[in-house]
Chain A
Amino acid sequence: MDKITTIVGKEWSEVFKNKLVLFSVLFLPLILAVIPLVMLFVFRQAGADAALSAELNDPEIAALAGEMCVGLSAGDCTLVYTLNLFVLMFMILPVAIPVTIAAYSIVGEKTTRSLEPLLATPITTVELLTAKIVAAIVPAILATWLAFAIFLVGARLLAPPAVFSAFFAIHWLLAVLVVAPLLTLLAACVAVIVSSRVSDPRVAEQLSSVVILPLILLVVGQAVGLILIDRQIMVLLAVVVLVLDVGLVYLAVRLFQRETILTRWK
């Protein structure tokens, strides 16, 4: 355990001195938390403006929102629809952050040639990978939860009570508290696997970012009314991601071959 915490501490000390990583961990979540709140504020102000108010009361959006908006005006429905779209971003966020951290932490060992002395210590592959993955996922989960808390408090303060009640559902808590960490683990494992096979952090990051695509499809599906994310879908998603996580953790350990990495990394 001490070895894992040592490596985690080392990763954080090193990785957070990288401005790009720092930006993705600190600013990205803040931006994602603040943008919907600004939009909420603007929409509420726009209520007084007749022209904008007409746009907000778009019946097409009300139609897309479907069950989300039962008993709400078209204007309030637009706000619920917007909040629902943005809350999905809190599932993309925990995927984006660990990819950046893991890509830099593993490929960084290659570029600085520090992996060989590290592997020469009595650290096991499982300990090393656990440390790398924990170092990548913990900041991502904390940043996501913090950003979501800001978003939630802001939404509670800025949105009309009826809108907040219609928006705030248990499946969003499930999404952020359960599915998001599972997605974070999935992204970190993919990044570890990809990073073990490429030698440029940017390539590792870009390849690992493919994990985001299915989530974007989910956002688009919800946006165009193809699916309406509810508790059942979220539970199903959690189970699927959990199964994928187990498989990917196993694969990451299996594919992290010390010998291959030492003899083929250039």
Chain B
Amino acid sequence: MIQTENLTKSFGDHLAVDRLTLDIGEGEVFGFLGPNGAGKTTTIRMLTSLIAPTAGRARVAGYEVGRDDDQIRRHVGILTETPGMYDRLSARRNLSIFARLYEVERVDAQVEKYLKLLGLWERRDDAVGEFSKGMRQKLAIARALLHEPRVLFLDEPTAALDPEASRLVHDFVTELKGQGRTIFLCTHNLDEADRLCDRVAVFKTHLRVVDTPGKLRRQVYGRQVVFHLCGAAEAFLPVVSGLPFVSAIEADAGKLILTLDDPESHNPDLVRALVAAGADIQFVGELRYSLEDVYLQLMKDGVDA
């Protein structure tokens, strides 16, 4: 649904996006992660035909960026980083203006549908200037969906929202994914990316890595199993160090942390070996690193795709 090939954007001497190559499938929620100034918004602007690439190619919803810009604008929805609204106008008026610009057939019905869906129907006739940040964000999401786009670009969709409103947006994104829409999600909220995205890309001017959150975890940290033992874990280092399937060992007070390729197969052998050596095992579990840990590690390492 979104394909880019060496997509590049420069502003004078400043290289904002460098040879970005991606292939995002239909119905996929794709997380685009990176620090401020990494070029994420520039990428979104290129993919929504708001600005032209300096080099490379991109196809969105089957249309070529630069050649079919009008068609791209008709088939994508965008939630911009700062969701500007017409503050003096009502929520309903704001949406009906955009519905007409997107040539939506049943303007009133569509506006009503999304105002209700995002919990803004009761405030439909209030001036948007009186809305809270969260309500404005919800209205901006409604605006991005009015024309039922197949591809949706969300730039920091929960940046200004409280946990309740964020949950609503997350549920909404999941629902949109269920409808088969492709979602390109730029976010600093890595927990959000972890929960919602099928795949994530770490990007800073050029693509660092792209994969599923789970595979990225494994790529960076491997699969680690932690054994909580009674007493010092160091005493059991000789027991596990000789096992062929253990690739790394770490002992920390009562915890023994082992890196394994396939914990499901090897955990029983490990448990048996430790128990046979006299270990009292309190708890066994897989260490789960957050996507934030992975992201920070990747940024620190400067890994490239």
Q: Which residues of A contact B (CB under 8 A)?
A: 2-3, 6-7, 9-10, 13-14, 17, 109, 112-124, 258-259, 262-263
A112 with B89, Cβ < 8 A, contacts A122-B73, A258-B50 known:
no
Closest CB of chain B to A190's CB: distance in Å?
25
Closest CB of chain B to A86's CB: distance in Å?
35
A117 with B80, Cβ < 8 A, contacts A14-B86, A262-B45, A263-B11 known:
yes
Interface flag for B206 (CB, 8 Å) = no
Residues of B within 8 A of A263 (CB): 11, 51
Whether the pair A6, B84 counts as a contact (CB closer than 8 A) is no
Cβ contacts B131-152/A at 8 Å (1 or 0 each): 0000000001001100000000
Interface flag for B189 (CB, 8 Å) = no
Whether the pair A118, B50 counts as a contact (CB closer than 8 A) is no
Whether the pair A112, B85 counts as a contact (CB closer than 8 A) is yes
Q: State which size class the interface on B falls in.
A: 20 to 34
Whether the pair A14, B83 counts as a contact (CB closer than 8 A) is no
Indicate the member of A17, A117, A118, A124 with the most B CB atoms within 10 Å. A117
Q: Is the interface of A mostly helix, strand, loop or mixed?
A: helix
Complexed CA–CA distance, A119 and B72 (Å): 12
From A260, which residue of chain B is reached at the shortest CB distance?
A: B51
Name the segment of B94-102, B274-282, B284-292 touching the other chain. B94-102
Whether the pair A14, B88 counts as a contact (CB closer than 8 A) is yes
Interface flag for B191 (CB, 8 Å) = no
Q: Which residues of B contact A (CB under 8 A)?
A: 11, 45, 48, 50-52, 70, 73-74, 76, 78, 80, 82-89, 93, 97-98, 100-103, 140, 143-144
The contact of A6 among B74, B83, B101, by CB within 8 Å, is: B101
Name 15 extra pairs, CB < 8 A, besides A2-B100, A122-B102. Answer: A6-B97, A6-B100, A7-B101, A10-B86, A13-B88, A114-B84, A116-B50, A119-B50, A120-B48, A120-B76, A124-B70, A259-B50, A259-B52, A262-B45, A263-B51
5 contacts between A and B (CB under 8 A): A6-B101, A116-B50, A117-B84, A120-B50, A121-B102
Whether the pair B51, A13 counts as a contact (CB closer than 8 A) is no
The contact of A262 among B51, B85, B101, by CB within 8 Å, is: B51
From A114, which residue of chain B is reached at the shortest CB distance?
A: B84
Residues of B within 8 A of A3 (CB): 100-101
Residues of A within 8 A of B98 (CB): 117, 121
Whether the pair B101, A121 counts as a contact (CB closer than 8 A) is yes
Complexed CA–CA distance, A139 and B303 (Å): 59
The contact of B101 among A113, A116, A123, by CB within 8 Å, is: A123
Whether the pair A113, B51 counts as a contact (CB closer than 8 A) is no
Complexed CA–CA distance, A17 and B82 (Å): 23
Residues of B within 8 A of A258 (CB): 50-51
The contact of A120 among B73, B86, B103, by CB within 8 Å, is: B73
Indicate the member of A117, A118, A120 with the most B CB atoms within 10 Å. A120
Closest CB of chain A to B179's CB: distance in Å?
21
From B101, which residue of chain A is reached at the shortest CB distance?
A: A121
Residues of A within 8 A of B82 (CB): 113, 116
From B144, which residue of chain A is reached at the shortest CB distance?
A: A117
Whether the pair A13, B101 counts as a contact (CB closer than 8 A) is no
Whether the pair B70, A122 counts as a contact (CB closer than 8 A) is yes
Residues of A within 8 A of B87 (CB): 112
Residues of B within 8 A of A259 (CB): 50-52
Whether the pair A113, B80 counts as a contact (CB closer than 8 A) is yes
Closest CB of chain A to B102's CB: distance in Å?
6
Residues of A within 8 A of B93 (CB): 10, 13
Complexed CA–CA distance, A113 and B144 (Å): 15
Whether the pair B70, A14 counts as a contact (CB closer than 8 A) is no
Closest CB of chain A to B90's CB: distance in Å?
9
Closest CB of chain A to B127's CB: distance in Å?
9
The contact of B78 among A7, A13, A112, A117, by CB within 8 Å, is: A117
Closest CB of chain B to A22's CB: distance in Å?
12
Complexed CA–CA distance, A122 and B100 (Å): 10
Whether the pair B84, A112 counts as a contact (CB closer than 8 A) is yes
Closest CB of chain B to A150's CB: distance in Å?
30
Complexed CA–CA distance, A115 and B85 (Å): 9
From A11, which residue of chain B is reached at the shortest CB distance?
A: B86
From B82, which residue of chain A is reached at the shortest CB distance?
A: A113
Residues of A within 8 A of B86 (CB): 10, 14, 112, 114
Closest CB of chain A to B139's CB: distance in Å?
11
Complexed CA–CA distance, A10 and B80 (Å): 20
Complexed CA–CA distance, A14 and B87 (Å): 8
From A15, which residue of chain B is reached at the shortest CB distance?
A: B88
Indicate the member of B11, B50, B89, B140 with the most A CB atoms within 10 Å. B50
Residues of A within 8 A of B140 (CB): 117
Indicate the member of B51, B70, B76, B84 with the most A CB atoms within 10 Å. B84
Whether the pair B73, A117 counts as a contact (CB closer than 8 A) is no
Complexed CA–CA distance, A259 and B93 (Å): 27
Residues of B within 8 A of A109 (CB): 84
Whether the pair B88, A17 counts as a contact (CB closer than 8 A) is yes
The contact of A118 among B45, B48, B101, by CB within 8 Å, is: B101
Whether the pair A120, B78 counts as a contact (CB closer than 8 A) is yes
Whether the pair B100, A262 counts as a contact (CB closer than 8 A) is no
Residues of B within 8 A of A262 (CB): 45, 50-51
Complexed CA–CA distance, A53 and B91 (Å): 62
Complexed CA–CA distance, A259 and B78 (Å): 16
